[in-house]
Amino acid sequence: MGAWESMKLFIIRRRLLANMIPRGCKNPLEEWMAIKARMTFKKNRELREEIGRKTLEDVSREDFEKYQMFRFREQMRYAEENSPYYRNKFKDAGVRPEDIRSYDDLERVPFTEASDLAADSSYFFAVSRTKMVKEFTTTGTTGHRKSIGYTVNDLVSKIDIVASALRDIGMTEKDSLHVMFPMVTAWDPSLMMVGACKVLGYGSSVCSDTSMDVQMKTMKDAGTTYIIGLPSFIYRVTALMGEDVDLKSMGIRKIISTSEPLSESMRHSIERAWGCKVIDVWGMTEFGLACAVECDEQNGLHTDEANMLFEIVDSETGKHVPAGQKGEMVISSLNAEGTVLLRYRTRDIAAMLDPPCKCGAHFNKRLVKPSGRLDLQFKVGMGYKVYPVLFDEVLFSNPAVIDYQMKITKEGYKDVLTFEIEATDESDTVRKIIIDAISAISEIKNGLEDDLIDVPKVVFTDIGSMEYAAKAKKIVDLRGNFDKE
């Protein structure tokens, strides 16, 4: 490392709140959020008066919610002054920052649609492009290209939260993280992960090759103890390499699943093979990595509420739903400089759990991992909604299944579901087990009873014939004109 790189690393380390977390802290991620709230409290008289205290040593849920409302108003003012999109949006809605004093008041602020961001991403920029040090682009699951701009402060903030999350899951200076994101190039996940490891003094390695042998060699050479990657690829490595390699002998302490839904059946298969816990991380390009991360309790994902405000709403009425009830997840940035997003509709179906958590976190809300997406739902039979996670749970519970894709067609008045499956066992017995398991899913069972869905078909394909692709479409609808939502 050259002198200039060393100097930049030194400066970033000094700026990270993650390095202010006391050693031995049982809940580093929540403590990081508390530090962020205390610093804001110290600098802003308005927040101090709102909370009604001179110091903020112990942060309660009530204190933290007041911090969030304060930051939302500040972000709203910043957006109104600097973002053409929000300047017009707030004016048309007749809403001002000072109107937002409580969680319920958020409903007065209009939603931001992903289609608006895709139509003209620069309309959301709150600084000139010359002040952007990085732009990430994504088409996500919708196919619409969006660009997110980051300033230096934005990047440092993301590295900071990732660093805190890595400490939260148990990493130390003795560990090395392997970043396993095959074929992912638009949103470079390794940028944040490797950056966070560097500032914390952790080891790291990156491999984007789809070759499992190359991945395994890279991990062995780097002395990997933690893995982060796409669950579909980690599962593929597990299923295909597990017969020839004792994966438990690799010494992996924990596996982090991110960027795709993790079914419980897939989680359990990976945990059994590697002999370690698999924890889930949720994030989206619009808000960066580590938006929410599981603790060892594996009962909801701890959210980065210091930088984001999470809401769960009824997708049709737009009204808030009670804690624990599923709805559409809506997110607002609280400290963004480059691209500001307020009340952004993620289209993810999720729920929020109130604190505390058995891990010891006492004010941080948890996210019930998204069970599907509104824009990835398909109606079959009498309008029954199906989405990939439904089939993931059933198919990946069968150890013979490596990967699959379902195609929906129509024969007469019936919907036909054809599953193309890569499997290590193509016997009629396995075929029947799969068909029976799919047919037992309530949405499919009801369609069969209504005589509007044909008995599911299973077509086995050779292993390797289904070329691996990150975030591949698990459901392809070939019916033409149909009501998707």
Residue 307's CB is within 10 A of a number of other CB atoms, namely 24
Q: What is the DSSP-derived secondary structure letter of residue 253?
A: -
pLDDT recorded at residue 191: 75
Return the ∠ at Cα 79 (arms to 74 and 84), rounded to 5°: 165
Of 314, 307, 340, whose CA–CA distance to 329 is shortest?
A: 314
Judged by phi (left if over 0) then psi (alpha if -120 to 50, else beta), residue 231 lies in alpha
Stretch 139-159: mean pLDDT, rounded?
79
Q: Average pLDDT for residues 162-180, to the nearest whole number?
A: 94
Helix axes 152-168, 189-200, angle to 10 degrees: 70
Q: What is the pLDDT of residue 261?
A: 87
Name the more confident of 9 and 180. Answer: 180
Question: For residue range 10-59, what is the model confidence (pLDDT) as tens digits?
Answer: 556 667 888 899 988 999 999 999 999 999 999 999 999 999 999 999 99
Quote the pLDDT of residue 4: 46
Crossing angle for the helix pair 28-43 and 61-82, to the nearest 10 degrees: 60
- Structure token pair of residue 215: 């991945």
β-strand partners of 292: 282, 303
Rounded to an integer, the average pLDDT of 465-478 is 78
pLDDT at site 139: 61
Nearest to 305 by CA among 97, 148, 71, 124: 71
Domains of the chain plus CATH, in order, are 1-373 (3.40.50.12780), 378-477 (3.30.300.30)
As given in the structure block, the two tokens for residue 238 are: 């597990």
CA atoms within 13 A on the CB side of 402: 22
Q: pLDDT-derived band of residue 7, with 50, 70 and 90 as boundaries?
A: very low
Kindly state the average pLDDT of the residues 174-184. Answer: 85
Average pLDDT over residues 56-79: 97
pLDDT score of 2: 54
Q: Helix crossing, 84-93 with 61-82: angle to 10°?
A: 110
CB 148, CB 289: distance < 8 Å: no
pLDDT tier, 1 (very low <50, low <70, confident <90, very high otherwise): low
Q: Residue 454, CB half-sphere, CA atoms under 13 Å: how many?
A: 16
